[in-house]
Amino acid sequence: MYHRILLKLSGEILSGKQGFGVEPDMLSRITKEIAEVHKQSKQIAIVIGGGNIFRGVADAKKLQIDRVVGDYVGMLSTVTNSLILQNRLESLGIPTRVMSAIEVSKVAEPYIRRRAIRHLEKGRVVLFACGTGNPYFTTDTGAVLRGIEIGADVILKGTKVDGVYSADPKKDKNAKLYKKLSYDDVLSRKLGVMDLTAITLCSENKLPIIVFNISEHGNLKKVVEGKNIGTVVN
């Protein structure tokens, strides 16, 4: 159903049960899911956060450092995660490129829209690092911005839960799983799918979002094929 996708992953998804860093089993599982979809001739771009290494605003407050500095440290953490994903994907025979919004020429290409699209057309998985390259913007906003720029068909947000709930399902056993939502629903109910800027950008550009559990084997492939998995926001 979808040909060119933008996969948004939180850094925390890589930490698995250990809660920090990168859990080998989770890294293996995620990259195998991506490789399986890539083999279907899908064009895949990825944005991964850095929360398993440094959580921008929260960690900046703990360390009593400037918010802007904390945001830049968080952005650089996404370079680390992108390089780890890149190396593991290439070990599976998947060609990749890491493109960064902040210049780190020793390890990644600078982000250039036309070059990114060309990489996708050549069958390479493209990992976008450093968000928008600016403080005060989340990787969610960075993912949506890149998705719009490359003409993605959909934003796929891979999480540890089955979709968007009315409340935290780990704390509230009566939490309701939504199968479909509008952008206005997300904003008015403060459901926290993505931040305000990201949702607004999706709404203005009619870019759908699907929130799903990527840790469950086969779910990424099912979502790309249009199966009824997760929560659709459009």
- Tally of CA atoms within 13 A in the half-sphere of 118 that contains its CB: 6
CATH number at residue 59: 3.40.1160.10
The number of distinct structural domains making up the chain is: 1
Question: 136: pLDDT confidence band, cut at 50, 70 and 90?
Answer: very high
- Do 193 and 183 meet the contact criterion of CB atoms below 8 Å apart? no
pLDDT per residue as tens digits for the range 166-217? 888 878 888 899 999 999 999 998 888 899 999 999 999 999 999 999 988 8
Using a cut of 0.75, tell me whether the model's pTM lies above it: yes
* Average pLDDT of the chain to the nearest whole number: 93
Structure tokens at 110: 């600078």
At position 8, the amino acid (one-letter code) is: K
pLDDT per residue as tens digits for the range 60-100? 888 899 999 999 999 999 999 999 999 999 999 999 999 99
Domain of 144, in residue numbers: 4-233
Structure tokens at 57: 């605003």
Q: How far apart are CA 181 and CA 35, in angstroms?
A: 29
